[in-house]
Amino acid sequence: MKNKRILALTLLVSLLSSLAQAHTHLQKAMPADNSILASPPSQLMLHFSEATRLTAVSIQKEGTDESTNVSTLPKEAAQALTVPMSPMSPGKYLVKWRAIGADNHVMSGTLHFTVTGK
């Protein structure tokens, strides 16, 4: 009886972990999280594990209460998505993004980077 419970639990954990891995996830970003840049980036690039559609991107400079919503988002889903960035002054920035994967899973994330201006 104990062996059947252990087997059932093992199968359940295996199934749940394979389902969790099936969701689309962010693989790489440029600028990378916590990066330090000499000059401001002209674009934000998000590379996902599967085709993904961005639904929102906002940028906020540290020390300000306002965030700017990026209005020029790619219209089509893709693995690598590029968003133009407005000119930035030196400082620390927070980027918040939200996207929908091919599996209709909604995901979101944040990236931090610093522009030194040097």
pLDDT in tens, 61-88: 998 988 899 988 999 999 999 999 999 9
What global pTM score does this model have? 0.76
84, 83, 82, 79: which is closest to 101 by C-alpha? Answer: 79
- DSSP per-residue string spanning 3-39: HHHHHHHHHHHHHHHHHHHHS--EEEEESPTTEEESS
Q: How would residue 118 be classed by pLDDT, with cut points 50, 70 and 90? A: confident
Distance CA 17, CA 8 (A): 14
Q: What is the mean pLDDT of residues 87-97?
A: 95
Q: What is the mean pLDDT of residues 43-63?
A: 94
